């Protein structure tokens, strides 16, 4: 292992965690970015937009072979909707380099030394290591998939879908494999999207899910709608099932997925169990982590207590504006915002991230699934009392062709009537309606205020009362009805 120190262009490196390295007048500062995906490269690009190479040197380390790719697009690539992998790459290494970003692929950062303002990086191919000093550091190490330590988990035919390499490996298996039985482990966003992908590839698909219904980001009653719809698509749904191991054949390849109760034959297994913040480096460096294992930042995306260290994307925790608590929400849209904000601040501008309301949307074939704000259990955990209503409506005027049914569940705070959350399950036109609620949540609206929202109406687009407004009306009536009633003695009231 060779360790040679890059020459820092700045005149000093901090010796304490709160001391900022300050450049001599006219000296060029160095920004080091760890992680070449959405958050990291957005930060680099935005900083570059604001400061030219004469002012700011930018070095970015990426342990993989790609930059700025859309992990969210992988299920659609595997499913065959997208045939060209390279369209998933928003910006290639060459494009970044053309903008004077010193991008080092296949180079893994192995240590952060905030006291001396430097990182140690290892060339994956040669194993050579070297230190690089920084004036500003961006940690954008992303997340790593949860892979339970179970027998057979590393067998051929078992695939995660976190990176483009993962996606390619799965596609290679599909091209090779003879069988037509796929088991997807996990029924969150990745799980249900991969179930669709495998279905579209012509597989018999079984989804093995630990929870009582798919989509644990919904309340179970709404998850049940997803369960039924997925069964309707011919997917075998197994709930309340913990995977105990993977069965392999004589050739070492996976043959089945075992749970406590049963064994599900599998020619290929896709893991969609979720991800955790990739914060081993940060932890070793003594940087502050939250209860979900993500880095904690201030509003400007600066790591708390560290003047010149920034973090964003899947490796940080974000403030949930409705519960007031930190959450870990790995999602490209947040990562891009974080990167933009970090780059602005590093570049001398000013920007902040206010937090999230927890909006997410997904689909399984033509079923659209969306949520924002708090589920019932989130509201409990946050100490909020609420009413909950569920309504059925349609995406278009009932008489208009292809008006599709839609179920909207809405939670509102008792007494105040403040909107707490919305969940939507339906067909075409259902998913993005959640944005109405996302903005209303951000604005702190009450459900009664929402009933009078001036939303776009024409028969091809909506009933005269948009489904979200129908839910708001029902929630308003419920809140009013209980306003005069005695406070429920235990927990929230619920109803359909």
The footprint of a copy of itself (CB under 8 A) covers: 38, 70, 72-73, 76, 81-82, 84, 87-88, 189, 331-334, 336-337, 353-354, 356-363, 370, 372, 397-401, 429, 431-436, 438-440, 442-443, 445, 449, 451-462, 464-466
CB-facing half-sphere around the CA of 258: CA atoms within 13 A: 12
Give the nearer residue to a copy of itself in terms of CB position, either 39 or 414: 39
For residue 119, what are the β-bridge partners?
112, 132
Contact at 8 Å (CB) between 382 and 323? yes
Distances (CA, A) of 238 to 202, 212, 231, 273: 20, 9, 10, 14
Six-digit token string for 259:
């749970």
Q: Spot the catalytic one: 72, 82, 319, 453.
A: 72
State the first-to-last Cα distance of the chain, in angstroms, to the nearest integer: 64
Give the nearer residue to a copy of itself in terms of CB position, either 11 or 333: 333
CB of 402 to a copy of itself, least distance (A): 9
3-state helix, strand, coil in the chain (%, to 5): 25, 30, 45
Return d(Cα 284, Cα 120) in angstroms, integer: 13
Give the nearer residue to a copy of itself in terms of CB position, either 356 or 411: 356
CB of 358 to a copy of itself, least distance (A): 7
CB of 327 to a copy of itself, least distance (A): 11
Return d(Cα 346, Cα 137) in angstroms, integer: 9
315 is catalytic: no
CB of 231 to a copy of itself, least distance (A): 21
Return d(Cα 430, Cα 361) in angstroms, integer: 10
Tokens 């009078």 belong to which residue? 452
Six-digit token string for 392:
């059925």
Give the nearer residue to a copy of itself in terms of CB position, either 72 or 128: 72
Six-digit token string for 241:
């099932």
DSSP for 199-240? Answer: HHTT-EEEEE-SSSSS-TTS-HHHHHHHHHHHHHTT-EEE-S
Give the nearer residue to a copy of itself in terms of CB position, either 362 or 390: 362
- Helix/strand/coil for 180: coil
CB of 121 to a copy of itself, least distance (A): 28
Six-digit token string for 28:
């060029």
CB of 334 to a copy of itself, least distance (A): 8
Tokens 């001391």 belong to which residue? 19
Query: Residues 49, 55, 57, CA angle at the centre, nearest 5°?
Result: 80
Q: At 143, phi and psi to the nearest 5?
A: -130, 160
- Helix/strand/coil for 72: helix
Instruction: Name the residue among 433, 295, 426 with its Cα closest to residue 359.
Output: 433
CB of 272 to a copy of itself, least distance (A): 14
Give the nearer residue to a copy of itself in terms of CB position, either 212 or 324: 324
Give the nearer residue to a copy of itself in terms of CB position, either 27 or 453: 453
- Helix/strand/coil for 257: strand
CB of 205 to a copy of itself, least distance (A): 19
Give the nearer residue to a copy of itself in terms of CB position, either 223 or 467: 467
What b/e readout covers 323-350, taking b as 16+ CB neighbours within 10 angstroms? beebbbbbbbebbbbbbbbbbbbbbeee
Active-site residues, by number, are: 72
């Amino acid at each position: 292992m060779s360790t040679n120190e890059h020459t820092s262009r700045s005149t000093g490196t901090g010796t304490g965690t709160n001391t900022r390295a300050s450049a001599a007048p006219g000296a060029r500062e160095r920004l080091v970015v760890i992680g070449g995906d959405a958050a990291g490269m957005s930060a680099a690009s935005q900083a570059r937009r604001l400061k030219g190479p004469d002012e700011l040197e930018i070095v970015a380390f990426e342990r993989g072979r790609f930059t700025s790719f859309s992990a969210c697009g992988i299920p659609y690539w595997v499913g065959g909707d997208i045939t060209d992998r390279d369209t998933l790459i928003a910006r290639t290494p060459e494009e970044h380099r053309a903008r004077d970003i010193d991008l080092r692929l296949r180079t893994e950062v192995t240590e952060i030394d905030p006291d001396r303002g430097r990182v140690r990086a290892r060339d994956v191919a040669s194993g050579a290591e070297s230190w690089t000093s920084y004036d500003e550091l961006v940690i954008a190490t992303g997340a790593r998939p949860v892979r339970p330590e179970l027998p057979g988990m590393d067998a051929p035919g078992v695939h995660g879908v976190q990176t483009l390499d993962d996606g390619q490996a799965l596609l290679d298996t599909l091209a090779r494999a003879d069988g037509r039985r796929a088991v997807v482990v996990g029924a969150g966003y990745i799980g249900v999207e991969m179930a669709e992908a495998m279905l579209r590839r012509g597989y018999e698909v079984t989804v093995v899910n630990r929870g009582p219904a798919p989509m644990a980001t919904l309340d179970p009653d709404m998850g049940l709608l997803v369960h039924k719809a997925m069964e309707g698509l011919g997917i075998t749904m197994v709930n309340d099932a913990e995977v105990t191991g993977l069965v392999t054949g004589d050739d070492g390849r996976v043959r089945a997925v075992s749970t406590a109760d049963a064994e599900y034959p599998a020619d290929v297994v896709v893991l969609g169990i979720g991800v955790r913040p990739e914060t081993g480096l940060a932890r070793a460096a003594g940087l502050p982590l939250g209860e979900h294992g993500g880095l904690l930042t201030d509003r400007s995306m600066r790591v708390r207590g560290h003047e010149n260290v920034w973090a964003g994307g899947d490796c940080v925790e974000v403030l949930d504006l409705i519960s007031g608590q930190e959450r870990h929400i790995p999602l490209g849209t947040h990562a891009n915002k974080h990167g933009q904000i970090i780059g602005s601040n590093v570049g001398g501008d000013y920007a902040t991230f206010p937090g999230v309301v927890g909006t997410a949307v997904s689909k399984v074939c033509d079923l659209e699934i969306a949520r924002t704000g708090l589920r019932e259990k989130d509201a409990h955990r946050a100490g909020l009392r609420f009413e909950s209503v569920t309504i059925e409506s349609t995406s278009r005027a009932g008489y208009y062709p292809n008006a599709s049914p839609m179920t909207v569940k809405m939670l509102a705070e008792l007494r105040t009537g403040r909107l707490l959350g919305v969940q939507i399950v339906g067909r075409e036109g259902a998913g993005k309606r959640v944005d109405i609620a996302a903005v209303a949540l951000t604005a702190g609206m009450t459900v009664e205020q929402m009933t009078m929202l001036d939303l776009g109406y024409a028969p091809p687009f909506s009933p005269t009362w948009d489904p979200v407004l129908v839910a708001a009306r029902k929630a308003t009536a419920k809140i009013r009805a209980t306003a005069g009633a005695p406070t429920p003695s235990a927990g929230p009231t619920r109803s359909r």
